[in-house]
Amino acid sequence: MKIAFIGGGNMATALIAGLANKLTAGANIHVVDPNAEALARLHQQYGVSTASATDAAAGAADVIVLAVKPQNMREVAAQLLPLLDQAKQPLIVSIAAGIRSVDLARWLGGYDAIVRCMPNTPALIGMGITGMAATGGVSEAQRKQADDILSAVGQTVWLDDESKIDAVTAVSGSGPAYVFYFMEAMQQAAAEMGLSAEQGLQLAQATFGGAAQLAARSTEPVQVLRERVTSKGGTTYAAITSMEASGVKAAVVAAIKAAQARGKELGDELGAA
Ligand SMILES: NC(=O)C1=CN([C@@H]2O[C@H](COP(=O)(O)OP(=O)(O)OC[C@H]3O[C@@H](n4cnc5c(N)ncnc54)[C@H](O)[C@@H]3O)[C@@H](O)[C@H]2O)C=CC1
Ligand SMILES: O=C(O)[C@@H]1CCC=N1
């Protein structure tokens, strides 16, 4: 399978790292990006071919992954349209937050073999999770191609309704940032209580990793796992009571809904163009 990436930034790098030499040889991956440094790094690390602007090799790939910022998607579609191999009907995979397939299809002259995805950065180490939705023009074989690509870097979740991608974006697309934010807070508290930065980081990392694995391997709800740590009148009880008094859970729910709203807003703003 030949895969082209338009955009070779953070997320494309995470996907290429997971894919190259596993699902397909690095030589079967073509990356387009105006940033020469990013291209040189990707070529050196994974043996991918590169181009500074969208070219015929990109347009004739089996799968074309659009991995530019949402604000650049329209311009990228315009650059791609004359180079798209219409006889071959490549599958377009978009990972841009907010951008709806219907708008992308319009920018691509009515082309509708599009899978809209929302991966996350743990794809870099094969531990990503991606929400996916297909348009009507996607064949079963192409659905499988998209699933194979994203499954190479973690789990996939197919959605029956594309609009749910904004919720996936808010929960797991942006989610790694929430985890890192919480780890920063744990590290800050550790430092303020006299532990070294390294110790704080080690404690936070091992706690997140251990708790996440415990939850993944348990059949019990996470609430029960939390209650099992929380002895009445004990230390965890003091911490959770403090968090509840500060409205931490409500604030997290509101924050995730703000991310979802921003995804919708991006779709409205950029799709209107
Ligand atoms: N970073 C993340 O955690 C996630 C990002 N996304 C989505 O992935 C997309 C890319 O995000 P990042 O990789 O974080 O951004 P980034 O800024 O690291 O990468 C974007 C790349 O696109 C390149 N580019 C700009 N215009 C171009 C053009 N006309 N042709 C080819 N390349 C062009 C830039 O030089 C840059 O290297 C966004 O749409 C974002 O919503 C999706 C899931 C997670
Ligand atoms: O923050 C963003 O807009 C992108 C989408 C999900 C993660 N990063």
Does residue 139 share a domain with residue 257?
no
Does residue 149 share a domain with residue 242?
no
- Token digits for 33? 């990006």
Q: Tell me, yes or no, whether 99 lies in a domain.
A: yes
Q: How far is CA 248 from CA 137, 182, 233, 254, in A?
A: 43, 11, 20, 10
Binding residues for NADP(+): 6-11, 67-70
Q: Is the CB of 174 under 6 A from ligand 2?
A: yes
- pTM higher than the cut 0.90: yes
Coil, strand or helix at 99: coil
> 94 CB contacts (<8 Å, ≥6 apart)?
65, 66, 73, 101, 104, 114, 115, 116, 117
- Model confidence over 114-148: pLDDT tens digits? 999 999 999 999 999 999 999 999 999 999 999 99
Residue type at 103 in one-letter notation: D
Q: Tell me, yes or no, whether 271 lies in a domain.
A: no
Does residue 184 share a domain with residue 104?
no
Number of domains the chain contains: 2
- Residue ranges making up the domain that contains 244: 175-264
Please, which contacts does 204-213 make with residues 24 or more away whose CB atoms are closer than 8 Å? 208/179, 208/182, 208/183
Q: Output the pLDDT for position 261.
A: 98
- Model confidence over 53-96: pLDDT tens digits? 999 999 999 999 999 999 999 999 999 999 999 899 999 999 99
Q: Output the pLDDT for position 22.
A: 84
| CATH number of the structural domain spanning residue 207 | 1.10.3730.10
Strand-strand pairing, 29-32 and 91-94: unpaired
Handedness of CA 181, 128, 90, 263 (dihedral sign): negative
Question: What is the rounded CA–CA span in Å between residue 169 and residue 151?
Answer: 17
Does residue 100 share a domain with residue 187?
no
> What DSSP element (H or E) covers 134?
strand 128-134
- Token digits for 204? 């936070």
Does residue 192 share a domain with residue 141?
no
User: Which of 168, 200, 230 corresponds to the end of one domain?
Assistant: 168
Does residue 259 share a domain with residue 199?
yes
> What are the strands of the beta sheet with 63-66, ordered from one edge?
49-51, 29-32, 3-6, 63-66, 91-94, 114-118, 128-134, 154-158
Atom of ligand 1 nearest to the CA of 70: 39
**Ligand index nearest the alpha carbon of residue 120:** 1
Instruction: Judge if ipTM > 0.85.
Output: yes
Q: Tell me, yes or no, whether 273 lies in a domain.
A: no
| CATH number of the structural domain spanning residue 64 | 3.40.50.720
| CA of 217 relative to ligand 1 center, distance in Å | 34
Q: Output the pLDDT for position 229.
A: 96
| CA of 158 relative to ligand 1 center, distance in Å | 22
What parts of the chain have a pLDDT lower than 70? none
Q: Is the CB of 54 under 6 A from ligand 2?
A: no
Does residue 192 share a domain with residue 112?
no
User: Which of 117, 146, 168 corresponds to the end of one domain?
Assistant: 168
Q: Output the pLDDT for position 56.
A: 95
- Token digits for 118? 């929302």
Does residue 71 share a domain with residue 7?
yes
- Only one residue has tokens 């979740």, namely 157
Does residue 122 share a domain with residue 30?
yes
Does residue 138 share a domain with residue 72?
yes
Q: Is the CB of 75 under 6 A from ligand 1?
A: yes
User: Which of 152, 168, 184 corresponds to the end of one domain?
Assistant: 168
Question: What is the rounded CA–CA span in Å between residue 212 and residue 179?
Answer: 11
Q: Is the CB of 97 under 6 A from ligand 2?
A: yes
Does residue 160 share a domain with residue 86?
yes
